[in-house]
Amino acid sequence: MKPHLKLVEPSIELQSAYQSYYNEWVESGENMIPFVLQKDPTDFEAMLLYLQNNSKGIGQPEGWPLTPLFG
């Protein structure tokens, strides 16, 4: 039987896992793509608001596509 996978948006319940994921990527030295991954999650609630706004086009330059983030 294959495991079930699902895409989930970052949430306060996933803070520890997200920060671990982020730190691992930073330590690797690899480029963070898409650009929204570059947002420092130290203030996690502010980062969540930033991601929510990006997914709705709030605060983005005119003409930019919506940028939801799933992990």
Read off the pLDDT of residues 11-52 as tens digits, 9 standing for 90 and up: 999 999 989 988 998 999 998 877 777 788 999 999 999 888
8 Å CB contact between 53 and 59: yes
pLDDT for res 49: 92
Q: Could you tell me the pLDDT band of residue 70, with boundaries at 50, 70 and 90?
A: low
pLDDT for res 7: 84
Buried b (16+ CB within 10 A) or exposed e, 5-16: eeeeebeeebee
In this structure, the dihedral spanned by the alpha carbons of residues 25, 16, 50 and 26, taken in order and rounded to 10 degrees, is: -10
* Residue 71 scores a pLDDT above 60: no
Alpha helices in the chain (DSSP H): 15-28, 44-56
